[in-house]
Amino acid sequence: MRAPNFWNERSVVSNLLVPVGVIVSSVAWVRAQTARPKEIKIPVLCVGNLVAGGAGKTPVALSLAKRLQKRGSEVHFLSRGYGGRIRGPHRVDKTSDNANDVGDEALLLARIAPTWVSANRAAGGCLAEINGAQIVLMDDGFQNFSLAKSLSVLVLDSEYAFGNQRVMPAGPLRESLSCGFGRADVAVLLGGDNKKVIQAIPKEMPILNANIAVESSFQGFEGRPVVAFAGIGRPEKFFGILKTLDCSLVQSISFPDHYIYTTKEILGLRERAENADAVLVTTEKDRIRFPQSLQHVAETVPVEVVWDDESIVDTILSRVLTMQGGLG
């Protein structure tokens, strides 16, 4: 979906939708208060957010998983598999599954660790435990209450903040700020300090500051012109990263988040780049939605999370590893 413009301001349309947002917020609060989540015997680390769209959950989840793996922990990812047809529980097969099956995020996660797609998170968590997981890492699922969480991390985009601070459909919030922060344990603030965001975070909640940056091993484009496209929550963030590289961004094309590209569209994008004598560039999340036979058409820019203080991150992960599932 493409976020409506009125999510960024308190417009007439937003005002008219506020009563619906109040109902959504109330339902979310009741679900949170009455939930009876399934507890498993291993830790469950949830990486979620409060707004619809791209806050940076998946890069954070990948970064935390890599740090856990360096400690020797057997990490299994658990995802809803947004955009895929399989409801699961299903273990992602990197060789045969595609984005239409399990969604783009699950395919990215499965590159580095066993990944389970399950609309019923409790069922997926149980299967991960049975199959040797020592810790379950949920990419999204903060608003899902079927599986007990040991520790919940909220990823916050300092640039976008909370939009107009209203609950869907009047704004981008999935639930009220008070309800969401009331269940979270740690906040990850991506992109620098923002007074509005920091003021919303409870004073007692630890804040991990970080940025999403191009991987240090990336060679760049050596000054070549680039035609870029992205179908992610905030395409402008990707285009902004490209502007910091050694290239000339001649065109940037936005698509809705999780967009499934047709062969005709992919070839049309390649033609645009060829006509501009440019390199066609996109995100790894976009290219993984291409048919395998067309993934060579576009180059990608690999990104990673760079933490301001890695020692604090590792201290929190050490704490998680000592927990039993749901006992945070």
Q: Which pLDDT score is estimated for 3?
A: 78
Q: Which pLDDT score is estimated for 4?
A: 86
* Residues in contact with 302: Cβ distance below 8 Å, sequence separation at least 6, in sequence order: 214, 215, 217, 218, 284
Which residue do the tokens 């409506």 mark?
A: 4
Q: Which pLDDT score is estimated for 169?
A: 96
Mean pLDDT, the chain, rounded, equals 93
Q: Which pLDDT score is estimated for 198?
A: 92
pLDDT at residue 242 tops 70: yes
* Least reliable range by pLDDT among 47-61, 84-98, 119-133: 47-61
Q: Which pLDDT score is estimated for 238?
A: 93
pLDDT at residue 275 tops 70: yes
pLDDT at residue 30 tops 60: yes
pLDDT single digits (tens) 194-206 = 888 999 999 999 9
pLDDT single digits (tens) 146-199 = 999 999 999 999 988 899 999 999 999 999 999 999 999 999 999 988 888 999
pLDDT at residue 55 tops 90: no
Q: Which pLDDT score is estimated for 66?
A: 98
pLDDT at residue 326 tops 80: no
pLDDT single digits (tens) 74-105 = 999 999 999 999 999 999 999 999 999 999 99
> How does residue 217 score in pLDDT terms, banded at 50, 70 and 90?
confident
